[in-house]
Amino acid sequence: MYSLDRQTHLYLHIADELRSRITSGELTPGNTLPSERSLSHQFEASRITLRRALDILEAEDLIERRRGRGGGTFIKSAPPTVEINRMEGFLPQLRERGRTVASQVLVTDLVSASSEIADALKVEPRAQVFRLVRLRKVSGVPMLIEDSYFPVAVAPDLLDQDLTGSLYELLTNRYKAKPTSKRETIVPALATSWEQRKLQMRPDQPILRIKRTTFASNDTPIEFSIDVLRCDLAQVEVVTKPLPST
């Protein structure tokens, strides 16, 4: 059983279970979900709790509710696939597909670089760097936490700017530091309690922890980030292009 309070978090379990059935192919696009009465009985939940779970799946664009004759709750599609090796990242790809993407700034600060951050950004240990933590939502659903660090020399007044939009566009247009390449390490993990709250997850749900160093054209590091991705909301794809012909 889950350690979180059942009455408060049962709807997250229901949403997770139904989402799993969709992503596994047990429920396919065009299929209908059982009635609310049947699902309430199956999960031993009230109608109100069940509807909160269905609200999540609807916001994730996995189901569609139709009223009237022929109505019901229909399966729409599995989570979208995003290419991790595209320079612009996940969220612009989802925006291209009609999803609404929004950012919430959680932390802005000037901090001393840890050894890991200093090594990635090629600055002195304990050097001052900007820290920016953002929660990224897709169609209103928390999907990604970005914990990013920037050398002060690259963007001296970064924290005075509007940080809800594209940071890569900001780096390119204001600071003439266009991101041209990146190096990423991806590790499956469990979220911390703080990450669980922000991403509205159960403790046992897996996440992908992505460490990324972004470089300008002269191979100068301009960003180091540790991202947390809800891997139940997106499928990550790696595309390898053919070598140029010689």
Distance of alpha carbon 57 from alpha carbon 33, whole angstroms: 12
Give the model's pLDDT for residue 28.
80
- Pick the range with the lowest mean pLDDT from 5-14, 43-52, 85-94, 213-222: 85-94
Cα 220 to chain centroid, rounded: 26
Distance of alpha carbon 191 from alpha carbon 111, whole angstroms: 23
Work out the angle at residue 172's Cα, subtended by the Cα atoms of residues 153 and 81, and round it to the nearest 5 degrees: 115
Mean pLDDT over residues 96-112, rounded?
Answer: 88
- Pick the range with the lowest mean pLDDT from 55-69, 71-85, 154-168, 214-228: 71-85
% of the chain surpassing 90 pLDDT:
49
Element housing 132 (H / E): strand 128-138
Mean pLDDT over residues 100-120, rounded?
Answer: 95
- 77 three-class SS: coil
Is 11 within 8 Å of 2 (Cβ atoms)? no
Q: Are strands 235-237 and 81-83 parallel, antiparallel or unpaired?
A: parallel
Q: Give burial (CB, 10 Å; 0-12/13-18/19+) of 11.
A: buried
- 163 three-class SS: coil
pTM check: above 0.75: no
